Amino acid sequence: MLFALLLGLSVFAVSYNLLSAYIRTEKVVVAARYLEPYRQISVSDIKVVELPRKGIHPDSIRKPEELIGNYTVCPLFAGQLVLAGHVMSSHNRPGISLELPAEGRAIFVPADASRAVGGLVNPGDRVDLIWSPKGASVYQPGGYHGAVTVVDKARVVEVIHDKSGEFKGIVIAAPPETCEHIAHCLETGSIYLVLVPWNTAEDGVPLSSEVWPGK
């Protein structure tokens, strides 16, 4: 009987030590709501919860003040542990380069409002770029007007205005070879921006079709 009692106490002690390691909790920071990549973190975006110590990732953030004002670098879902690798310092504020795919580039396309839908272009829009060569006449024999669509459905990353608010042009995302093509067009003629429907999804690619076919 005494042996059985001692054995039972030993099993209890071992079990208690094992279970207590899981029962012990620790405060950690989790996302309070879904957070998009490159979002600046505010107080309402995170919360502190207690979780079993054994279930906490070693890179978990313990103090909310370490996150306030910093930026997410990946999507975070409500209740998800915030790890050190999920955020970047507010001293390294992300620019538009973070919005570009690895194979993409961004290029500024200068244009005044009269050549850019009156300046009614917004980030996220898709635009066609129409090139008109320098010295092109309004009308040429054969019906060729000298204007060509050189980029189709380019995504507008940013719209640029000067200090007075005047529209100065756009930044678009495109493959490197397309950026080279645009640079050549800017040096040899004028670029016009044309809005395209929202239901387009492809990135801009160079085209050779004429805007107003002669035939």
Spell out the alpha helix ranges (H) of the chain.
2-23, 176-188
Residue-range domain boundaries for the chain: 18-92, 97-206
Note if the pTM is more than 0.85: no
Q: H or E stretch including 18?
A: helix 2-23
Instruction: End-to-end CA distance of the chain: give it in Å, rounded.
Output: 107
Digit-by-digit pLDDT tens for the chain (215 residues) are 554 544 454 544 545 555 555 578 899 999 999 998 878 899 999 999 999 888 899 999 999 999 999 988 889 999 999 999 999 887 766 677 766 777 889 999 999 999 999 999 998 899 999 999 886 555 444 444 678 899 999 989 889 999 999 999 999 988 999 999 999 999 999 999 999 987 665 544 444 433 333 32
**Assigned CATH for 18-92:** 3.90.1210.10
User: In sequence order, what are the residues at sequence separation of 6 or more whose Cβ sits closer than 8 angstroms to the Cβ of residue 192?
Assistant: 111, 115, 116, 129, 130, 131, 132, 147
